[in-house]
A and B are shown apart, each in its own frame.
Chain A
């Protein structure tokens, strides 16, 4: 966009075009005008063209998933990837939820438990601990915080092995707790929560609440937590994505398919579809059903990830 074309709602002063005419952006001399406009047009086309190309790349697999979910097994291989065939989505959904006595619905509920309730609890724990590290003084505070930072360095995918060995020794593997308890401890979450608490909650406000006679719990619940709300949502999104991508944890811990989250269930269906092709259709429709709520949630929470996911980076 050059200064000559109608300026859109930008937050920044217009920057000269990135197009080929290197000589053009020499203040608006009348003779160079048509040349400049053409340059601006090319640069706009190039910039938006490249962005569109990448958007095509990111959207293509999801579009394929959507189209494939509406086909029956024959049309899946027999028709083009992006052309609709007979509309079979409802029949596919029926088959999906009937498979194995409705085990898929159970996986969805388990996922809500692990990744919804579990992550909410985990975020609350991290926020309270981060708040305590920021606003209280206690013995060995910085040493303990150093321990937390050390915990950040331990790769979670590797830690799962000893967690599993220990849980199986204690007979606690293959339970809901074996997945939920490890999710509760999130060292990186504690680190971020301390940063947020330093940034969002001024010490004076905490002091003022105490002067007004608020107890310590009340200070956290009615003063700290509301001021930390944006950080809380960001942290929840972080914890959420980290935990649903922590596929290794349920893979190690769970052997009863009624305890699976949807990711593990679909992975196993997908692998068995090599021998039993009917599982291919179930896997595809199941993937769509699992992805749709996530996409909707992230579209609704744009405000938080657009700037929020970077809170750690800005620091």
Chain B
């Protein structure tokens, strides 16, 4: 403590402070342990056991130790591999699409030619306020050939698209997620653009740089850290994809009940009643997600520094 204080006030402070700090920290970490640490430990424990039907004809099951058998099963399961491949396909389509759309919108909104900026910003952000499950419900109607005005537009253009067909599974999901998040990402990037010092932009204009040139060589490099952040959220979100494909399973031929890794976990636990397999798969996904966040952050930091 650097501030001089009369001893009477000063001396009891550290104890009171330690107590206060404990009063904030301790209950939180009790909850943290209960909600995060213990469940993860319990998942590890569960993943080591397997349900096997007892061969006595009673139809019951018994729990037997399986070692790493569930991990081997999960890794060998073609459904889980297919689920990861769906996510790869999803990321390949979604990440460039989202990044380009959000960046384009932010740059357009930041350009001097844009009018009614607040109104546009609000309109673009609005889908973010809709819960993803409800977004998926609405889009499922808009994909449905019997109800959808969108399908009528496609028909009018002479294009036949069946959003519920197997090849359209990834694009259908990508569209819902893009609709939901594009405005949110745009707001992040736009706020970063607004923070660029005006002298920098004036200097570019003085040097004769046009609007497009300024956008590409001044504005985009300036908002790298915001771009990295939105990329990070996008990648971490991708591995957790559940709500949108889950809501499409009934209608879409291409989206089965274990279409994404998190859906695989849900199906293993609730449909197949194999908690050991579900836990093993959940832990594998957690490891992958952690490694991915780590890699993207590292990569992002290098890019930021460059």
Asked if B84 CB lies within 8 Å of chain A CBs, one says no
Bound together, the chains give a CA A159 to CA B283 distance in angstroms of 9
The dominant DSSP class at the A interface is helix
The dominant DSSP class at the B interface is helix
Cross-chain contact of B269 among A46, A82, A161, A210 (Cβ < 8 A): A161
Q: How many A-B residue pairs have CB under 8 A?
A: 315
Contacts of B182 in A (CB 8 A): 54, 58
- State whether A182 touches B19 (Cβ < 8 A): no
Contacts of B240 in A (CB 8 A): 155-158
Q: How many residues of A contact B (CB 8 A)?
A: 114
Contacts of B128 in A (CB 8 A): 241, 298
- State whether B31 touches A58 (Cβ < 8 A): no
Q: How many residues of B contact A (CB 8 A)?
A: 115
Asked if B50 CB lies within 8 Å of chain A CBs, one says no
- State whether A138 touches B22 (Cβ < 8 A): yes
Bound together, the chains give a CA A76 to CA B144 distance in angstroms of 12
Binds B, one of A15-23, A89-97, A100-108, A227-235: A15-23
Bound together, the chains give a CA A309 to CA B187 distance in angstroms of 8
Known: A132-B24, A132-B25, A284-B141. A313 touches B111 (CB 8 A): no
Contacts of A205 in B (CB 8 A): none
Known: A58-B127, A58-B182, A155-B239. A165 touches B46 (CB 8 A): yes
Residue of A nearest to B127 (CB): A58
Contacts of A283 in B (CB 8 A): 137
- State whether A151 touches B20 (Cβ < 8 A): no
Bound together, the chains give a CA A184 to CA B5 distance in angstroms of 38
Question: What are 23 of the A-B contact pairs (CB < 8 Å)?
Answer: A15-B214, A16-B210, A47-B108, A51-B105, A81-B147, A128-B24, A128-B28, A137-B21, A153-B289, A159-B40, A161-B279, A181-B34, A181-B35, A213-B9, A215-B16, A248-B242, A267-B137, A274-B250, A274-B251, A290-B131, A291-B131, A298-B128, A305-B125
| Chain A positions near chain B (C-beta within 8 angstroms) | 1, 8, 10-18, 22, 25-26, 40, 43-44, 46-48, 50-52, 54-55, 57-62, 64-65, 68, 76-77, 80-82, 125, 128-129, 131-133, 136-138, 144, 147-148, 151, 153-159, 161-166, 169, 181-182, 184-185, 187, 190, 207, 210-211, 213, 215-217, 220, 241, 244-245, 247-248, 251-252, 263-264, 266-267, 270-271, 274, 280, 283-284, 287, 290-291, 294-295, 297-299, 302, 305-307, 309-310, 312-314
| Chain B positions near chain A (C-beta within 8 angstroms) | 3, 5, 9, 13, 16-25, 28-29, 31-32, 34-36, 38-40, 42-43, 46, 101, 104-105, 108-109, 111-116, 118, 120-135, 137-142, 146-150, 152, 179, 182-184, 187-188, 191-192, 194-195, 198, 201-202, 205, 208, 210-212, 214-215, 225-226, 229-230, 236, 239-240, 242-243, 246-247, 250-251, 262, 265-266, 269-270, 275, 278-279, 282, 285-286, 289-290, 293-294
